[in-house]
Structure 1
Amino acid sequence: MHKIPGHHHISMITKNASQNNYFYQRVLGLRRVKVTVNQDDPTMYHLFYGDKTGSPGTELSFFEIPPAGKTYRGTNAITKIGLLVPSESSLFFWKARFEEHGVKHSDITTYANHSALHFEDSEGLRMVLVVSNGKKAVHWQTWEKSEVPEEHQIQGIGPVEITVRRLDKLASTLTDMFGYTEISRTDDEAIFQSMKGEVFGEVVVKYLDGPTEKPGRGSIHHLAIRVKNEEELIFWEKKVRARGFQSSGIVDRFYFKSLYFRESNGILFEIATDGPGFTIDGDIETLGEKLDLPPFLEERRVTIEENLKPIEEYYRANE
């Protein structure tokens, strides 16, 4: 029986690639590991941030959609991203850093039974730093050129929050189909782990009735979960179809292979292979420094580049 070893990446919408680039590299200290385009719509940037190589479990990805409007928050949506930090002292470091950079944040608190610090980026994307207690993403590697000291660097994706009208439907998909373990439950919240005891594959499911979220800038598009290789991906595609969900079929994204499906609440999941990874067309030392295109788009490079606005270094007013 195959197991899901954790999160692979999570994808969001941004209105402004330059502003996004500043926040995730300069403020959060992540490495921009890939500048590419949305393979289904090459007129828009697709940016990836993560650890030194953008390894599985560390990747935050953004589609730039300049006309994107406001997100109207609601239910049946992925609503918060947990990011792992090494220690309690890291939360104090980050609280001071957020104050220095004018980042909206909470006091130090708890979230899903972890010590935590909630914050938002400039587009209202909701995130929370949680203490990993040594449970960092398995493949995480220090980024030596980060502006954040190694002892406080973000160590990958932790709990991902999903808010739905039908909690039990999503719970059944996670446990019965994917083999997640339910570790806690109240009337309006349940917590699941892909690998019991490991926070890097945790999903926090919250119950909320009401209008469905209307996505826009700062909203979360989908969650990708990990599988080892294409053989395992084929196994999971059969499971998805057997459960009655419509699948995209296996799609070759060049950096990994994946499939997409929506569960009963409409939450979009991707299942993605660990490899080959972002170094397939780039040197580790220069990852993310130029526009990379998968081979099937390379012949259109000139046109694609003409349609993309350069990502300039963005600075806050009066910095």
Structure 2
Amino acid sequence: MYPIEGHHHISMLTKDAQYNNRFYRTILGLRRVKVTVNQDDPSMYHLFYGDRTGSPCTELTFFEMPFAGRSYRGTNAITRIGLVVPTEESLSYWKSRFEEHNVKHGEVTTYANRQALHFEDAEGLRMVLLVSKGERLPHYEVWEKSEVPIEHQILGMGAVEITVRRMNKIAGTLTNILGYTEVSRTEDEAIFRSAKGDVFGEIVVKSDDGPAEKPGRGSIHHLAIRVKDDEELSYYEEQVRLHGFHSSGIVDRFYFKSLYFRESNGILFEIATDGPGFTIDGDVETLGERLDLPPFLEERRTEIEENLAPIE
């Protein structure tokens, strides 16, 4: 079995790309590394935020859906995103920052056995800052132009929370197909880690028998996990098939290649390759400053641009 390297990216729905752009760049201090479109529906923006190059496990991505209604929270959904910060002092910095910018947040607490600070964006997307225990992504690159000081910048995605009715079903998918290790379990919560075994590949599964979530603005569409290359992606395509799940087959997204499948609770997973990355069609210094389109959409650029409202 090829090891899952950890998280790759996570994708959400936003009603307002303008607000989204301001919040994740200005308040969270992430770099907007790619402005592109949903390749399956190029009438909507697809925005990517992350470290200096948008490297794997730092990417928060958003599809803009201007007519999205509110989310009705529930089970059988990805319900929270962990973001890793360097130190406990970072939590104090972020608490003050959230107060300054009127961001909904809680008090410093613990989550998944770490010091933590819960917060939400204005669309109700639930996130939690988690203190690193010395873990660092080897490929992480500081964003020098961030409004957040380097010593408190977000280091990448941490524990991702998934809430389901049938915990044993998703546990089987994570351990038998994807090679995760179950590191703890109580009656209503289990924690799994990918082969790398640190916070950047952690999944917290919570059990809830209530009504299913009705997605809308601020909801999480899917979680993407990392493999190295095409060979590893092909291996997992076969594993998904052998375990009785239907998949999308391998899809070339230009910036990476992907495979999509839903486990038994309906949670959508993507398995994505690390490369080639966002610099394949842009210079590092100017990432995210213009609309980039994959080659198969380039001939439709004029039409696509006319249907999109400009973003700062």
What corresponds to 1:24 in structure 2?
24
Counterpart residue identity of residue 248, structure 1: S
The answer to whether the 8 A contact 1:57-1:139 is kept is no
CA offsets, 1:21-50, max 9 Å, x none? 000000000000000000000000000000
The answer to whether the 8 A contact 1:169-1:265 is kept is yes
CA offsets, 1:256-301, max 9 Å, x none? 0001000000000000000000000000000000000000000000
- Determine helix, strand or coil for the equivalent of 2:266: coil
Counterpart residue identity of residue 311, structure 2: I
What corresponds to 2:272 in structure 1?
272
Counterpart residue identity of residue 94, structure 1: W
The answer to whether the 8 A contact 1:137-1:157 is kept is no
Q: Note the 1:245-284 alignment, pairs <5 A.
A: 245-284=245-284
Q: Note the 1:147-226 alignment, pairs <5 A.
A: 147-195=147-195, 197-226=197-226
Q: Note the 1:54-73 alignment, pairs <5 A.
A: 54-73=54-73
1:34 matched to 2:38? The reply is no
Q: How much is the aligned-residue C-alpha RMSD, in angstroms? A: 0.7
What corresponds to 1:297 in structure 2?
297
How far apart are 1:137 and its partner, in Å? 3.0
The answer to whether the 8 A contact 1:240-1:247 is kept is yes
Instruction: State TM-score, norm by structure 1.
Output: 0.97
Q: Give the share of equivalent positions with the same residue, in percent.
A: 75
How far apart are 1:138 and its partner, in Å? 3.4
Tell me, which stretches of 5 or more residues in structure 1 are unaligned? 313-319
Whole-angstrom CA distance in 1 between matches of 2:45 and 2:188:
37
Whole-angstrom CA distance in 1 between matches of 2:2 and 2:16:
39
Whole-angstrom CA distance in 1 between matches of 2:71 and 2:155:
28
The answer to whether the 8 A contact 1:222-1:267 is kept is yes
1:144 matched to 2:144? The reply is yes
- Determine helix, strand or coil for the equivalent of 1:45: strand
How far apart are 1:177 and its partner, in Å? 1.2
Tell me, which stretches of 5 or more residues in structure 2 are unaligned? none
The answer to whether the 8 A contact 1:9-1:223 is kept is yes
1:134 matched to 2:134? The reply is yes
How far apart are 1:139 and its partner, in Å? 1.8
Whole-angstrom CA distance in 1 between matches of 2:60 and 2:145:
18
Whole-angstrom CA distance in 2 between matches of 1:212 and 1:165:
9
The answer to whether the 8 A contact 1:58-1:137 is kept is no
Q: Which runs of 4+ in 1 moved over 2 A?
A: none
What corresponds to 1:4 in structure 2?
4
The answer to whether the 8 A contact 1:71-1:218 is kept is yes
* CA 1:196–1:33: 2 relative to 1, 3 Å: closer
How far apart are 1:116 and its partner, in Å? 0.2
- The number of residue pairs the alignment matches comes to 312
How far apart are 1:226 and its partner, in Å? 0.2
What corresponds to 2:232 in structure 1?
232
How far apart are 1:140 and its partner, in Å? 1.1
- Determine helix, strand or coil for the equivalent of 2:137: coil
- Determine helix, strand or coil for the equivalent of 2:297: helix
What corresponds to 1:317 in structure 2?
none
Counterpart residue identity of residue 163, structure 1: T
How far apart are 1:76 and its partner, in Å? 0.1
Whole-angstrom CA distance in 2 between matches of 1:210 and 1:300:
44
- Determine helix, strand or coil for the equivalent of 1:203: strand
Q: Note the 1:70-89 alignment, pairs <5 A.
A: 70-89=70-89
How far apart are 1:196 and its partner, in Å? 5.4
CA offsets, 1:219-274, max 9 Å, x none? 00000000000110000000000011100000000000001000000000000000
The answer to whether the 8 A contact 1:4-1:194 is kept is yes
Counterpart residue identity of residue 91, structure 1: L
* CA 1:196–1:183: 2 relative to 1, 3 Å: farther
- Determine helix, strand or coil for the equivalent of 1:21: helix
How far apart are 1:169 and its partner, in Å? 0.4
How far apart are 1:311 and its partner, in Å? 1.2
1:121 matched to 2:121? The reply is yes
Whole-angstrom CA distance in 1 between matches of 2:179 and 2:234:
17
* CA 1:38–1:180: 2 relative to 1, 3 Å: same
How far apart are 1:17 and its partner, in Å? 0.2
Instruction: State TM-score, norm by structure 2.
Output: 0.99
- Determine helix, strand or coil for the equivalent of 1:19: helix
The answer to whether the 8 A contact 2:52-2:143 is kept is yes
Counterpart residue identity of residue 62, structure 2: F
What corresponds to 2:112 in structure 1?
112
Whole-angstrom CA distance in 2 between matches of 1:301 and 1:79:
35
- Determine helix, strand or coil for the equivalent of 2:43: strand
